[in-house]
């Protein structure tokens, strides 16, 4: 039988493995994507291999930063001394590992898009290589925001003193906090990279539209961060809440479900919004005269595309703040956990689907401005139908919460 310190140490080792194991996935994929497009670029103009190699390495270095964040957290988990002998420290360590490891996945993959697309852009427009590299750096930096969210939550979970909190439900809340930010960051990190890559290619295609292209990229990338912000808000609520007012059973299931509801639902919205922003950036570069119209349709589409993440966020808030009666019944616990899982998983597909619909509308608005009204109408009707499955998941979650 492990004593409390050994239990905490073992959990920290497990958390360290989760952190760097998950954190290595995104950076490796992003760096591989960048190198693959660098090779393709060199095949077009072998004489530019030195310049392209330099650009590739800079882009890969930024994509690597997400994995470096994960490495730092993993090392802290390996060597930091437990703040107390309370078993809850073990759960906070695992939550910290999941927050950073999962968050690094999206940021690493997302940063690979501008890194690789910048190489292609430089080949096609060598005279704009300075502006293209600047766009790549800005876009890649924005992609790291969700990973930074994950690192912030990891540090809070590792270094705050939770020893006075009850193991149930606080342990599940801290695990849920790590999942909320970590999972939500996947979609936002990946989604942010899509408009950044499109901006690099857009500037190469139409250098005179560079300022408008950059503006559209920044607006689109900023909106892509919204699901990750939902995740970190739920994490803060779970970390700083008053556990004395929550019954251990079924409270643990409700708080873990709260983390899953927002974290999972945010994945779809983050990726879907990235598709929409990518098409808006490409459309602005192709037809800068229609920039205002393109941005307007982009923002409408992205606003609707946030709905599935909002449903998950709503269910999370209900799970955190709805007053619960103490019950050790397995049925009561899994009813609340199921509500979070329903809304969370139920938001992934619709979130991505909504982004596909909006992206198509934005693409054709830029090419056929005269069809804007018809395109917006079709987009909204199509998005309403696409969103219906997320509504089904929300209805089931509400039934689990308030009826059954």
> Domains in the chain and their CATH numbers?
4-402 (1.20.120.610)
User: Which tokens in the block code for residue 63?
Assistant: 């994509």
pLDDT of residue 210: 82
The answer to whether 390 and 347 are in contact (CB under 8 A) is: yes
Sequence-distant (≥ 6) Cβ neighbours of residue 357 within 8 angstroms: 301, 379, 382, 383, 386
What's the CA gap between 237 and 275, in Å, rounded?
Answer: 30
Alpha helices in 247-371 (DSSP H): 248-286, 291-305, 307-321, 330-346, 348-367
Q: Could you tell me the two tokens for 378?
A: 């079709």
Q: How many CA atoms lie within 13 A of 35 on its CB side?
A: 11
Angle ∠(223,224,228) on CA atoms, nearest 5: 110
Cis ω for the linkage preceding 169 (within 30 of 0): yes
By C-alpha distance, which of 205, 51, 188 is closest to 109?
A: 188
The model's pTM is: 0.94
Under 8 Å between Cβ of 383 and 357: yes
Tokens encoding 390? 């997320």
For 395: left if phi > 0, alpha if psi spans -120 to 50, otherwise beta; the answer is alpha
With contact defined as beta carbons under 8 Å apart, do 156 and 214 qualify?
no
Cα 343–348–349 angle (5° rounding)?
Answer: 115
- pLDDT per residue of the chain (404 residues) written in tens, 0 to 9: 456 788 888 999 999 999 999 999 999 999 999 999 999 999 999 999 999 999 999 999 999 999 999 999 999 999 887 666 688 999 999 999 999 999 999 999 999 999 999 999 999 999 999 999 999 999 999 999 999 999 999 999 999 988 888 888 999 999 999 999 999 999 999 999 999 999 999 999 988 888 899 999 999 999 999 999 999 999 999 999 988 888 999 999 999 999 999 999 999 999 999 999 999 999 999 888 888 899 999 999 999 999 999 999 999 999 999 888 888 889 999 999 999 999 999 999 999 999 999 999 999 998 998 889 999 999 999 999 999 999 999 999 999 999 87
On whether the CB atoms of residues 88 and 163 are closer than 8 A, the answer is yes
Helix axes 4-44, 49-79, angle to 10 degrees: 180
Place of tokens 């602005």: 284
Q: What is the largest CA-CA distance in the chain?
A: 73
Distance of CA 178 to the CA centre of its chain: 13
Token readout for 158 is: 């590792």
Q: Reduced to 3 states, what is the DSSP secondary structure of residue 162?
A: coil
- The closest alpha carbon to 184, from 275, 258, 279, 73, belongs to 258
């Amino acid at each position: 039988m492990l004593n409390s310190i050994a239990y905490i140490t073992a959990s920290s080792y497990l958390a360290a493995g989760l952190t760097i194991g998950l954190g290595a996935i995104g950076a490796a994929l992003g760096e591989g994507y960048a190198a693959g497009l660098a090779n393709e670029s060199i095949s077009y103009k072998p004489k530019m291999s030195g310049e392209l190699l330099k650009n590739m390495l800079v882009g890969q270095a930024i994509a690597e930063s997400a994995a470096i964040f994960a490495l730092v957290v993993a090392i802290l988990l390996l060597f930091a001394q437990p703040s107390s002998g309370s078993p809850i420290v073990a759960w906070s360590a695992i939550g910290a590992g999941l927050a950073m490891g999962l968050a690094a996945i999206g940021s690493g993959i997302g940063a690979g898009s501008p890194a690789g697309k910048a190489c292609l852009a430089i080949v096609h427009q060598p005279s704009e290589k300075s502006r293209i590299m600047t766009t790549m750096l800005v876009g890649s930096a924005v992609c790291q925001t969700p990973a930074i969210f994950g690192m912030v939550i990891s540090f809070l979970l590792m270094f705050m003193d939770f020893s006075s909190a009850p193991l149930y439900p606080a342990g599940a809340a801290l695990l849920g906090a790590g999942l909320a930010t970590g999972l939500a960051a996947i979609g936002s990190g990946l989604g942010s990279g899509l408009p950044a890559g499109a901006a690099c290619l857009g500037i190469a295609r139409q250098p005179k539209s560079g300022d408008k292209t950059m503006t559209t990229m920044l607006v689109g990338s900023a909106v892509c961060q919204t699901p990750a912000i939902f995740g970190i808000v739920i994490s803060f609520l779970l970390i700083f809440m008053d556990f004395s007012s929550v019954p251990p059973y079924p409270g643990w299931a409700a708080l873990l479900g709260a983390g899953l509801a927002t974290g999972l639902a945010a994945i779809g919205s983050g990726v879907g919004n990235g598709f929409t922003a990518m098409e808006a950036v490409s459309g602005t570069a192709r037809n800068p005269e229609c920039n205002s119209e393109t941005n307007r349709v982009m923002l409408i589409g992205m606003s609707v595309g946030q709905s599935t993440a909002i449903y998950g966020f709503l269910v999370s808030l209900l799970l955190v703040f709805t007053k619960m009666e103490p019950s050790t019944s397995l049925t009561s616990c899994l009813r609340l956990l199921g509500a979070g899982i329903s809304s969370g998983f139920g938001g992934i597909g619709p979130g991505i689907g909504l982004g596909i619909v909006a992206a198509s509308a934005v693409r054709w608005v830029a090419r056929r401005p005269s069809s804007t009204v018809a395109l917006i109408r079709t987009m909204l009707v199509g998005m309403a139908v696409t969103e219906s499955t997320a509504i089904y998941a929300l209805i089931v979650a509400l039934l689990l919460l308030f009826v059954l």
